[in-house]
Amino acid sequence: QVQLVESGGGLVQPGGSLRLVCKSSESILSFNVMEWYRQDPQKQRELVATFPRGGRPTSVESVKGRFTMSREVAKGTVSLQMNNLSPDDTAVYYCKGTRYSTDYWGQGTQVTVSS
């Protein structure tokens, strides 16, 4: 049973930084792609960053330059470094891994950006 567990969320001030970590029960390289999504009650769940197994990590235009995805294969993790956070970044952040046609989701971690 694949398990993905996010950590690192919390309350941060505008302009601050946060690093989210997703720990996988199985090798990161067993997935075709690892991704970060986010969602708040007023928005649809949206893609934030993606890291194909054999490719390079990319972030969506709205967070490019502020958010960077990485993977730490030896640790079994993927991470999302978030800098210059704004209240608009407040959301539940989810880690997703895709293996063949099956998606696996973490439980999510809350990120709240507020003074």
Residues 7-26: tens digit of each pLDDT: 999 999 999 999 999 999 99
- Starting at the earlier edge strand, list the strands of the sheet with 18-24: 4-7, 18-24, 77-82, 67-72
**How far is 94 from 4, CA to CA, in rounded Å?**
9
Q: How confident is the model at residue 32 (pLDDT cuts 50, 70, 90)?
A: very high
pLDDT at 82: 98
